[in-house]
Amino acid sequence: MTHHRSTWRNRWTFMLATAGSAIGLGNIWKLPYMIGVNGGSAFVLVFIACILVVGIPLMMTEILLGRRAQKNPFNGIEALAIEAKASPHWKLLGGMGMLTGLLILSFYSVIGGWVLYFITEATKGSFVGIEATQSTANFNNLLASPLTLLFWHTVFMCLTMGVVARGVNSGLEKANNILIPALFVILLILLGYSMSVGDMQAAYHFMFSLDFSKITPVAVLSALGHAFFSLSLGMGSVMVYGSYLQRHVSIARTTIYIALADTMLGLLVGLAIYALVFANNLAPNAGPGLIFQTLPIAFGHMPWGSLIATLFFMLVAFAAWTSAISLVEPTIAWIVENTTISRKVSATTLGFAVWLLGIAVVLSFNDWQHVKIIFGLNIFETLDKLTSTILLPLGGLLMAIFAGYFMKRDHVQDELNLDNRGFKLWRITNNYISPIAIIAVFLYLFGLVK
């Protein structure tokens, strides 16, 4: 069966879409609390190193796989394996990626729901004059109410599937063209405020002081996992977006812009948040609730606070939305390219399945709080750790090995189209440095090295 495949209108649109996938709750919700939980600057340092050494080369690899294959990750990797005379079973790597994306979406949508709820709270002026105890109590009340969580999880899921159902050209492009630039503008406003009233010096010290003694194995593991999460790597999001990319666009340059934008944005949000955290004597290691507990206090005391809070949470919701879309796109592309099922029907069915799993996540914050799956982790924590620290790095490792050791060198070079030095640099990082780094982390994880 041959299908007409749509492509992005131009390179800018691809950049916006991929940046839209990368920039999301990972930057705004997860990175800040992970920095706090993992000891501040030690984590930041390793995170930046992981982005440079593992993230950037691997993003290039994922785009090149997608563009060469011109297909969804499952059939795409299969086609590339056949072209390379390797086992067609490599397609299972695509399948694993699709599953990983759906697992991530199940909790991503619940957190996206928290954000939507906070937009409504902000518009109601609920934060005005609020103090720390009240803000924490508000957040805990939200977590204690399964029905509220379920309602907003449902809304978030419908928003996501609504765009996905419309398809790459009409849906994704339009959404991204408006949302990403808007997001940058709103962030600058927040940062400006934070600089004027927050404790920027303390935030800077917390995030960037060079203190190697604080680097722990757990921080390294979390930082590697988060580099994958933040850049949307290891499951096929970037691969499927790359498959819609025209031939003449430079993969290396596009990758570097996206990785820089994503990392900078995450760190700037971190600075803005920690400047507020320290100025208000809040705890940096509050965990997943960090931004939801601390920001309302700051918003509650600033002029125009309710308006700024509304804008901020809208920004986060937009960012989460464009990321969530990319978590399902590989699976949707796979269904649409292999069956006669329409985009609309597949989006609805898949959305429903992920929504069901999301209910378990909702309950893990209240009624099922004490249900532990493995290593004393509840359902949310299990899904988060399983995907970020195992499935994504494993997917990335296999993609790097496939592109580096199985595909023909000429074919890879054909897509990357780099000069000699650039190609060598990509090869060394893709074939040796990042696989070794990932394997080393895995060996540690399974207790094989100490």
Among 16, 17, 19, 25, binds ligand TRP (CB under 6 A): 25
Closest to ligand TRP by CB, 175 vs 297, is 175
Nearest to ligand TRP by Cβ — which residue?
26
Dist. CA 212–CA 101, nearest whole Å: 34
**Whose Cβ is closer to ligand TRP: residue 199's or residue 262's?**
262
CB of 329 to ligand TRP, least distance (A): 9
In the complex, the smallest distance separating the C-beta of residue 449 from ligand TRP, rounded to whole angstroms, is 26
Angle between helices 290-301 and 305-338 (to 10 degrees): 150
Minimum separation from the CB atom of position 398 to ligand TRP (A): 14
Of the listed pieces 21-29, 109-117, 185-193, 418-426, which binds ligand TRP according to CB under 6 A? Answer: 21-29
Q: Which one of 18, 21, 109, 255 is in contact with ligand TRP (CB under 6 A)? A: 21
Q: Is 389 in the site for ligand TRP (CB under 6 A)?
A: no
Examine residue 392 and tell whether it contacts ligand TRP (CB under 6 A): yes
Instruction: Tell me how far, at minimum, the Cβ of 226 lies from ligand TRP, in Å.
Output: 9
Q: Does 38 bind ligand TRP (CB under 6 A)?
A: no
Contact string 67-106 vs ligand TRP (x = CB under 6 A): ----------------------------------x--x--
| Mask for 306-335, x = binds ligand TRP (CB under 6 A) | -----------------x--xx--------
Range 203-242, binding ligand TRP (CB under 6 A): 229-230, 232, 235, 237
Q: Is 113 in contact with 155 (CB distance < 8 Å)?
A: yes
Interface residues toward ligand TRP, by CB under 6 A: 21-22, 24-27, 101, 104, 229-230, 232, 235, 237, 323, 326-327, 392
